[in-house]
Structure 1
């Protein structure tokens, strides 16, 4: 697998806050964000589908995932709701809430798509019957929020990880509520993600008598761990044995996923990189860089040809994975292809646009999800000067763009380029402590709640006025509703914004 190379195919910039999760379906890519939206993209041209965006969540959307059919997906949010959607129509098929009504951090479908599981700030997992739209059981045992979970490929087990670093295994088949295995030192500072290999051992044969599987997990100790997962189905215990520890990332791991054939493991980190690994050999393959902030999520397409990544820089990057005869020895000195440069921002000044080359314009067109027209712009030598002069007739007659919606999108997005002359130099590097934990937006009026955490006043007030009496960060009951101004932080934010505007 050392012959695999990634090149940037597309960048999607519609979200206005951190991209928190993404998943490939049969024909769509679903993404979600701190901006409270869920968006759907056509895989063919990466344009948004007619039903996108979906606006039903009222707080940060933490996770989104397709089921095996690729036409139904789930999203979960800090607003305490898990929603199941039809990706074709945007119709809500079911809405679930934990009995505690806590924030939900993660959700996953069982491989047979009959159950959806969720983990939240009540330290519990809830299993829901998708067809009957009801709670099957609640699994208790974690001491902190459940941040990661995965179903085994045979549907028999669930593995979950929490904020205090433990990994637990549960029976997903016979209905037992007790924990089958408990690995306290999964990741010292907290488990952030876990996934089963879809092709290792009995994952290929779907044995009903025994499980011999491969599990990957990531955490705040900067390491990916590969576990050997062994059990007799129906047995009260499961053996989870550490097989490999994969160092390489220089900061906390936030996401990991296997390719459909199980030959590649991808991971994303606060260090802004995506790393690809050979999970069977326990070896690094190469590192991909493109995001300017944390890589929060990644997912392979169903054919394994594409890898999508999301980040706190508000962008989604779609990478084309290609086999090549060029041997990349550990990929040291790997150079990112020219096509993987980050596209122009939606907020460049007129002066910048006038200096755009034809390649810059083509890159911008691709970033709008209209890559199909890139060659037309190149053939007509449309540079920045010509871009500013285009009208709808030019787009139709000279460039052959027939759909009115596409012509309007180009002109509308060009208008944004013209009307936002100032770019914040620090816009993509906003310190996390300046963002409200609830809204994930820069705080205008930071206040300290009784849990000791700082929130934007409007965010925490709306949280409490909606009837929630527990901390958005710890899930403990808020002792009182008094909000104390955090004047020091407000001063730092104001200073930061002044520097950004200069």
Structure 2
């Protein structure tokens, strides 16, 4: 019997940050530009040729972007790769023009550290959440058009993500109250369901590319998988996979037939497929992860201030 396992080959190390690398993003239409965020309060941009087999051992940043006065917690890029939005413990969001390499807008309204930010697929809506226990909806001009507190989480709201293929009209939040909440968007944010499953705070939520599968993870060391019920429009529990350590961020490989999940954890990088761990790379504590447009290259951000570039492969092991 042959099992296909995921392997990781280190291609390059990206050096430049002076603090833990907490956020990574790469545009699917502009695959040569990687953007990172760190506890050194900066964003950095990097030129990466993911199609080249020959990679330099060390890559240096092309630009360092300054503006935030505290740790950067999350960042996301527009679909065309022209803009980035970052969230910070300085209670703000910032919109960055990656052509001019400057901050062009500051979003003010949170009364505590901002922990997460998300961009709708059409790049017209922005979500944020934070330690003030609120979820905020913004337009791209920096105006807060809705703020949710009554139906929000009872503890810090650590993650917000739009649901794929929902035309920007559905999103999910997760918090330190161990709950996941699903929402619909119209003129306001309407609570759709509350999911209680995890036994510890939740750090991260991810969706398969078609939105049919959701995964959630955090402190309890379990990654929970959920399936979309097309009848109710709600997510129903499928199964847990135990990784036995804190999970900081998860991302689905963009192949709807495989649903391979990659996880950044306190022990390293974990790959999960078909309810099983099929790959593990021990590293310094890994806080962030993203896929390149070529799908076989991933980037991971670590507490040792480094970003690592990995070639992901499939190796078959034969068992009698």
Q: Which runs of 5+ in 1 are unaligned?
A: 1-6, 11-44, 204-211, 231-237, 322-335, 347-367, 380-502
CA distance in 1, matches of 2:279, 2:164: 32
Which of 39, 51, 58 is the aligned partner of 2:18? 58
Cα-to-partner distance string for 1:189-231 (whole Å, 9 max, x where unaligned): 111111111201xx2xxxxxxxx6110111101111110011x
Does the 8 Å contact 1:244/1:282 carry over to 2?
Answer: no
The alpha carbon displacement at 1:320 in A equals 2.5
Cα-to-partner distance string for 1:451-476 (whole Å, 9 max, x where unaligned): xxxxxxxxxxxxxxxxxxxxxxxxxx
Shift in CA distance, 245/302, structure 1 to aligned 2, threshold 3 Å: same
Shift in CA distance, 60/284, structure 1 to aligned 2, threshold 3 Å: same
1:86 aligns with 47
Cα-to-partner distance string for 1:318-340 (whole Å, 9 max, x where unaligned): 1234xxxxxxxxxxxxxx65xx3
Does the 8 Å contact 2:73/2:89 carry over to 1?
Answer: yes
1:153 aligns with 121
Does the 8 Å contact 1:228/1:242 carry over to 2?
Answer: yes
The alpha carbon displacement at 1:8 in A equals 8.5
Cα-to-partner distance string for 1:352-394 (whole Å, 9 max, x where unaligned): xxxxxxxxxxxxxxxx98977775xx79xxxxxxxxxxxxxxx
1:285 aligns with 2:241: no
Does the 8 Å contact 2:220/2:244 carry over to 1?
Answer: no
Does the 8 Å contact 1:9/1:320 carry over to 2?
Answer: no
Shift in CA distance, 196/341, structure 1 to aligned 2, threshold 3 Å: closer
Q: Which runs of 5+ in 2 are unaligned?
A: 50-54, 284-309
Shift in CA distance, 81/369, structure 1 to aligned 2, threshold 3 Å: closer
2:296 aligns with none
Shift in CA distance, 158/8, structure 1 to aligned 2, threshold 3 Å: farther
TM normalised by structure 1 equals 0.51
> Secondary structure of 1:46's match?
strand
The alpha carbon displacement at 1:92 in A equals 2.8
Give me the CA root mean square deviation: 2.7
2:37 aligns with 76
Cα-to-partner distance string for 1:285-316 (whole Å, 9 max, x where unaligned): 21111x2211111001122322101211x211
How many aligned residue pairs are there?
Answer: 275
Higher helix share: 1
CA distance in 2, matches of 1:260, 1:64: 18
CA distance in 2, matches of 1:104, 1:372: 34
Larger radius of gyration: 1
Which of 260, 264, 271 is the aligned partner of 2:220? 271
1:183 aligns with 2:148: yes
CA distance in 2, matches of 1:246, 1:182: 21
1:62-141 alignment, distance < 5 Å: 62-69=22-29, 70-88=31-49, 90=59, 92-98=61-67, 100-141=68-109
> Secondary structure of 2:209's match?
coil
Cα-to-partner distance string for 1:250-272 (whole Å, 9 max, x where unaligned): 11111001111111111112110
Shift in CA distance, 216/9, structure 1 to aligned 2, threshold 3 Å: farther
Shift in CA distance, 252/344, structure 1 to aligned 2, threshold 3 Å: closer
1:193 aligns with 2:159: yes
1:303 aligns with 2:255: yes
Shift in CA distance, 94/165, structure 1 to aligned 2, threshold 3 Å: same
TM normalised by structure 2 equals 0.78
The alpha carbon displacement at 1:86 in A equals 2.2
Which of 121, 136, 156 is the aligned partner of 1:168? 136
CA distance in 2, matches of 1:153, 1:221: 28
Does the 8 Å contact 1:8/1:318 carry over to 2?
Answer: no
CA distance in 1, matches of 2:14, 2:111: 33
CA distance in 1, matches of 2:98, 2:215: 29
2:246 aligns with 294
Higher strand share: 2
The alpha carbon displacement at 1:95 in A equals 2.0
> Secondary structure of 1:282's match?
strand
CA distance in 2, matches of 1:242, 1:371: 41
Higher RCO (CA < 8 A, seq sep 6+): 2
> Secondary structure of 2:16's match?
coil
Shift in CA distance, 226/86, structure 1 to aligned 2, threshold 3 Å: same
CA distance in 2, matches of 1:248, 1:180: 31
